[in-house]
């Protein structure tokens, strides 16, 4: 299972989190976010982590040009689209960046929202399901109703996100079988400042679950 820790801002924390077992690190490329990092900050982290760690840039309603510029200049291996991007937008990115993983995030408020998934199946490489929040796009600590995802099997790899913590991860995985998990606020002291003890506890819990 892929384990993505999102909202990385500090090189030392990125290195430690990768060494603890994270398979992917997420970098917030949305300027309005308290976890925002620019190209130079992303590079500083990327230089500290193993080559086989996935480096995912998180964008929301950015232009194709901006995404390509940031991706190609910061050694990202994936793009997570967390806004209102259309399936056609995803396809344009795939055409321009064929070697980059395209992750489409969908914010789930109710079971009916899962119907949006079908429009992205042929356009994205991976899906991510996050909790809906009326003002914020992610990192809110809000949970999806896990019961609505018990039978979820989209035919694409997918990450479960939204309100996951070291304390509830085994409960979530007892109900749901995602391809990966994505945590941000659940392993933080404050936005962008990861709590390495919480990250270590996450991996301890996952080892118990195995």
Q: How many residues does the chain have?
A: 210
Counting Cβ atoms within 10 Å, is residue 85 exposed (0-12), middle (13-18) or buried (19+)?
A: buried
Residues 28-34, mean pLDDT to the nearest whole number: 95
Q: Which residue has the higher pLDDT, 45 or 143?
A: 45
Q: How far apart are CA 56 and CA 80, in angstroms?
A: 7
Q: How confident is the model at residue 109 (pLDDT cuts 50, 70, 90)?
A: confident
Q: Domain ranges for the chain, please list them.
A: 2-209
pLDDT at 82 over 80: yes
- Are 105 and 80 in contact, with CB atoms under 8 Å apart? yes
pLDDT at 2 over 70: yes
Q: How confident is the model at residue 81 (pLDDT cuts 50, 70, 90)?
A: very high
- Domain 2-209 - what CATH class? alpha beta
Token match 């982290």: residue? Answer: 45
Q: How far apart are CA 17 and CA 21, in angstroms?
A: 7
Tens-place pLDDT, residues 10-27: 999 999 999 999 999 999
Exposed e or buried b per residue across 5-18, where buried means at least 16 C-beta atoms within 10 angstroms of its C-beta: bbbbbbbebbbbbb
CA quadruple 6, 10, 11, 16: dihedral positive or negative? negative
Q: How far apart are CA 74 and CA 71, in angstroms?
A: 6
Tens-place pLDDT, residues 188-201: 999 999 999 999 99
- Interior angle at CA 138, CA 87 and CA 69, nearest 5: 55
């Amino acid at each position: 299972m892929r384990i993505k820790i999102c909202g990385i801002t500090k090189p030392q924390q990125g290195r430690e989190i990768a060494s603890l077992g994270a398979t992917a690190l997420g970098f917030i490329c949305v300027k309005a976010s308290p976890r925002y990092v620019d190209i130079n900050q992303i590079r500083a982290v990327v230089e500290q982590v193993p080559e086989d760690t996935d480096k995912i840039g998180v964008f929301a309603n950015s232009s194709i040009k901006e995404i390509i510029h940031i991706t190609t200049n910061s050694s990202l291996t994936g793009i997570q689209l967390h806004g209102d991007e259309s399936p056609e937008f995803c396809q344009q990115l795939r055409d321009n960046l064929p070697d980059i993983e395209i992750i489409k995030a969908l914010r789930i408020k109710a079971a009916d929202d899962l119907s949006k998934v079908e429009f992205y199946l042929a356009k994205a490489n991976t899906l991510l399901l996050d909790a809906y929040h009326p003002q914020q796009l992610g990192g809110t600590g809000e949970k999806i109703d896990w019961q609505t995802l018990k039978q979820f099997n989209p035919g694409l790899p997918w990450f479960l996100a939204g309100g996951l913590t070291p304390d509830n991860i085994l409960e979530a995985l007892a109900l749901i079988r995602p391809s990966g998990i994505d945590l941000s606020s659940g392993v933080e002291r404050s936005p962008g400042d990861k709590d390495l003890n919480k990250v270590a506890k996450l991996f301890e819990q996952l080892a118990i679950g195995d």
